[in-house]
Amino acid sequence: MLQRTRKGEETRERLLELAESAVLQKGFAATSIDELIAAAGITKGGFFYHFKDKSELAKGLLLRHLEHDKAILDDVFRRADELHEDPLHSFLIGLKLFAEVLSNLPEAHPGCLAASYAYQDQLFSQEIRELNREGVGRWRIRFRERLGRIVERYPPRIGIDIDVLADMPLTLVEGGIVNGKVLKDDSILPNQILAYREFIRQIFLPDR
């Protein structure tokens, strides 16, 4: 029974991997259930055992993507907090670690699933659009909370909207992926985060 459950989980994960790759390469509408079945080497019944329809596949894909993003950011900033208690220095360390993670993404990283869903939002249910909105909003909440703690100890050296600063990491990641893909330069994405890190340092770090 355990072996059968494990095999089922592996098949579901394989379908999600195949679907994510296809959606990022050519969009959700152009990704067919038949091609996923063929690529996974399963029957149509096997697919519908895991996903009752394409909409449920879309939801499963998005939830998996959002959890993956959360796990990466949780790990990066947990390690940063362990290395330094000061909120500013911990944030700067975390951004450096995040840039290192982004520099190790697969070559020619095809894009972000949340962005792909946003571009084609008319294809998805209100539930899926809301999940995507909440997922994007979590980036803002995460970075706004950290910046708020920094501001309490380090007054900004210039007039700056903290909410705008909180939105920049995700904006830079999405733009960095697009620029890196078009220009075939995988250094653009991590360098955007490093530039943001320097911007934060200049805004908050007092003169010595």
**Domain spans of the chain, in order of start:** 1-52, 53-204
Residue keyed to tokens 């539930």 = 127
Q: Answer yes or no: are the C-beta atoms of 198 and 120 closer than 8 Å.
A: no
* pLDDT per residue as tens digits for the range 91-145: 999 999 999 999 987 654 556 888 889 888 898 999 999 999 999 999 999 999 9
In the CATH scheme, what architecture does the domain 53-204 have? Orthogonal Bundle (1.10)
Chain Cα centroid distance, residue 94: 16
State the burial class of residue 5 (Cβ atoms within 10 Å of its Cβ: 0-12, 13-18, 19+).
exposed
* pLDDT per residue as tens digits for the range 147-175: 999 999 999 999 999 999 999 999 999 99
Buried b (16+ CB within 10 A) or exposed e, 123-143: ebeeebbebbeebbeebeebb
In CATH terms, are 1-52 and 53-204 the same topology? no
Give the Cα separation of 114 and 126 in Å (integer).
15
> The pTM is what?
0.88
What is the topology classification, in CATH, of domain 1-52? Arc Repressor Mutant, subunit A (1.10.10)
